[in-house]
Amino acid sequence: MNSLTRRQFLSTASATTISLAGIHGLQAGKSARPHLTLGFSLYGMPHLKTEQALQAVAEIGYDSVELCLMDAWDATPLKLNAQRRKHVSNKLNETELKLTSLMEHCSLPGSKASQKKVLDRLKRAAELGHALKPMQPPLIETTAGSGKWNQLKNEMRDNLGAWAKVAESTKTVIAIKPHRGGVVDRPEQGVWLVQQIDSPWIRLNYDYSHFTHRNISLEDSMRTMMPFTSLIQVKDTVQKDKKVHFVLPGESGDINYVQFLKQAVQAGYQGDICCEVSSMVFKQKGYNPIAAAKTCYQNLAPAFKQAGISRG
């Protein structure tokens, strides 16, 4: 795995400086005119070729997109050779979709030997992001894995320090998502890790669906996480037989997305609102990825207008 070339580094330095300035502005609560993008994660299109998926997302009307780099998906770095990377980059430019994030699935707990593979994976993801969008490289977002928080938090803190070095060396923000049932599953746990590392390259991914039905309010979770958040993902949950099931964003009717967007902006957030389709949904028989993406858009796009928040 080669590090970024000097040309790649210099071409992204100014964009990175702007990005980090934005991060510090969020932390200081100095957001200007509300400005968000509405995006769709290709995690919800597991069997489509990337170029085909990008075209569909653009035609629906989305502003932005997240690529999924997990092994079974088309866009994993090991599957995208130089020619494919050029095709994907051209398709992003042609559709004018902003590439906001790359979804990975990395485990934060683990030995130094196991973490070496994780670090290599993060480096490959960062390299791909810079290859596809050298002037506006996307962030990498991932959950933290499984385990018990109290037993593993110090180990994760130490490992996250190594992640931060990769993030800084590749000029790529890494955002950790607190995930229901995971080793990091509460807002304050994610914040603790970020504060321990104290690096502008290590941030959080906020997804309220992982806090619903758990006595964690939208207001409290946003208040806790927004100063450290660089990506917001959205989907809904429903409770059946005392079990929580993920559904498409807007489908449960439990989340007022107009208020959701307003609160995010009031908390200083300026970035992507990325619709995510859970595997609980796309593994269902008869699942149609294009129809799902259209439903997500129809449920979320009107909320921006009603909230008075511009997109682009």
How far, in Å, are 13, 120, 148, 163 from residue 167 at the CA level? 14, 12, 25, 6
Take residue 192 and report the two structure tokens written for it: 């603790």
Largest CA distance in the chain: 56
Q: Terminus-to-terminus CA distance in the chain, angstroms?
A: 34
Mean pLDDT taken over the chain: 91
Share of the chain above pLDDT 70, in %: 89
Question: According to the model, what pLDDT value does residue 282 have?
Answer: 98
What is the per-residue pLDDT across 2-22, written as a single tens digit (0 to 9) for each?
Answer: 444 434 433 444 444 434 433
What is the token pair recorded at 263? 């609160």
User: Is the CB of residue 266 less than 8 Å from the CB of residue 30?
Assistant: no
Owner of token pair 């796009």: 301
Q: pLDDT value at position 312?
A: 82
Which of 117, 186, 183, 179 minimizes the C-alpha distance to 151? Answer: 183
Cβ contacts of residue 30 below 8 Å, gap of 6+?
A: 268
Question: Can you tell me the distance from the alpha carbon of 119 to that of 268, in angstroms, rounded to the nearest whole number?
Answer: 31
Contact 107, 118 (CB under 8 A): yes
Say if CB 250 and CB 301 are below 8 A apart.
no
Q: Average the pLDDT over 226-238 and give the result.
A: 97
Phi (first) and psi of residue 183, to 5 degrees: -70, -30
Q: What is the mean pLDDT of residues 218-229?
A: 97
Per-residue pLDDT, 35: 80
Q: What is the pTM of this model?
A: 0.90
CA atoms of 311 and 292, how far apart (whole Å):
21
Whether 161 and 115 have beta carbons less than 8 Å apart is answered as no
DSSP H stretches of helix in 28-108: 50-60, 82-95
Task: Kindly report the number of other CB atoms within 10 A of residue 27's CB atom.
Answer: 14
Q: 118 and 142 in contact (C-beta within 8 Å)?
A: no
Q: What share of the chain is helix, strand, coil (3-state, %, to 5)?
A: 50, 20, 35
Contact by Cβ (8 Å): 263, 219: yes
CB 102 within 8 A of CB 67: yes
- Cα(265)–Cα(164) distance, rounded to whole angstroms? 27
What gap in Å lies between CA 68 and CA 271, rounded to an integer? 19
> Tens digits of per-residue pLDDT, 294-303?
999 999 999 9
| Spatial distance between the Cα atoms of 209 and 214, rounded to a whole number of angstroms | 10
102 — pLDDT class (breaks 50, 70, 90): very high
pLDDT in tens, 20-77: 433 433 333 344 556 899 999 999 999 999 999 999 999 999 999 999 999 999 999 9
Q: Is residue 107 scored above 70 in pLDDT?
A: yes
| Paired tokens of 88 | 């994907």
| Strand 35-41 with 310-311, pairing | parallel
Evaluate whether 54 touches 89 at the Cβ level (below 8 Å): no
